[in-house]
Amino acid sequence: MTSANDAATRAEKDRKNNLPRHIAVIMDGNNRWSKQHNKNGVSGHRAGAVAARNLVSICLKKNIDILTLFVFSSENWLRPKKEVNSLMALFLNVLQRNEVNKLHKQNIRLRFIGSRERFSAKLLALMDAAEKLTANNTGMIVVVAADYGGHWDMANAAQQIARQVADGKLDVNAIDENTVEQFIALGDLPMPDLCIRTGGEKRISNFLLWQFAYTELYFTDTFWPDFDEQALDLALEDYAGRQRRFGKVSDQVEAS
């Protein structure tokens, strides 16, 4: 697990190199893209899946260590049943295709974060198989957040910590930020340096609430299916111009 000081030191080094180590993406705008192109909603999600696949290749080329994609939120279950069913079918189709094998051949490790309680047995089996196949890969990590919500994540961590206390494995007075990080999603990875949200909305929508404590936020009006390498370069250029202080003042950062 990375300490706050280590994270700050690494983040400052990455800033000087003009490159975030961990990018998280809120992929928004599929439905509006469909309407803009006079197509049905499913076509927007299909185009979004293609954009996600392309972004993985782009980030691999740019030597990004970790890419986390917000595919399906805890709240997305509230969408019309037809749309939810279409999204589940698309998710299943992507995992059934040769996509996972392609990632494996590129030495990419695939991980899923989220509840998983409401997914079908078939989908769960494919997710588990994909994680096991790529578990020992040492290249870029691609994290897929599915049925994920920041509130769920912290509540889930609290439950696990409570069990540790109840079982006598943890002293309640010893619980601190590092303890929580052991139980939240991505706690074993460097926290996101940059979050990109497409589609014009300016909020994080219950995504990685704990993990985004010092993440740089970038919002673009570009709909997700249209987000390409040029759009990513604009986000990276914006990120490179920021000073990440982690509570320090500018003079301290510049002197380090």
Cβ atoms 143, 111 nearer than 8 A:
yes
Amino acid 15: pLDDT: 47
Q: Is residue 76 annotated as part of the catalytic site, yes or no?
A: yes
**Cα–Cα dist 14/2, whole Å:** 15
User: 3-class SS at 175?
Assistant: coil
Residue type, 81: K
Q: Is residue 28 annotated as part of the catalytic site, yes or no?
A: yes
Amino acid 195: pLDDT: 98
pLDDT in tens, the chain (256 residues): 445 566 555 555 544 468 999 999 999 999 999 999 998 878 999 999 999 999 999 999 999 999 999 999 999 999 999 899 989 999 998 898 889 999 999 999 999 999 999 999 999 999 999 999 999 999 999 999 999 999 999 999 999 999 999 999 999 999 999 999 999 999 999 999 999 999 999 999 999 999 999 999 999 999 999 999 999 999 999 999 987 766 656 655 566 6
CB within 8 Å of 109: residues ≥ 6 apart: 134, 135, 136, 137, 138, 139, 140, 141, 142
How do the domains of the chain map onto residue ranges?
Answer: 4-242
**Which residue of the set 76, 137, 156, 206 is catalytic?**
76
Tell which residue, 208, 235, 240, has the closest CA to residue 73.
208
Amino acid 40: pLDDT: 82
Q: Does domain 4-242 have CATH number 3.40.1180.10?
A: yes
DSSP symbol at 122: H
**Which residue of the set 28, 153, 193, 226 is catalytic?**
28
**Cα–Cα dist 187/141, whole Å:** 14
User: 3-class SS at 211?
Assistant: coil
**Cα–Cα dist 235/2, whole Å:** 25
Tell which residue, 118, 97, 120, 100, has the closest CA to residue 108.
100
Amino acid 131: pLDDT: 97
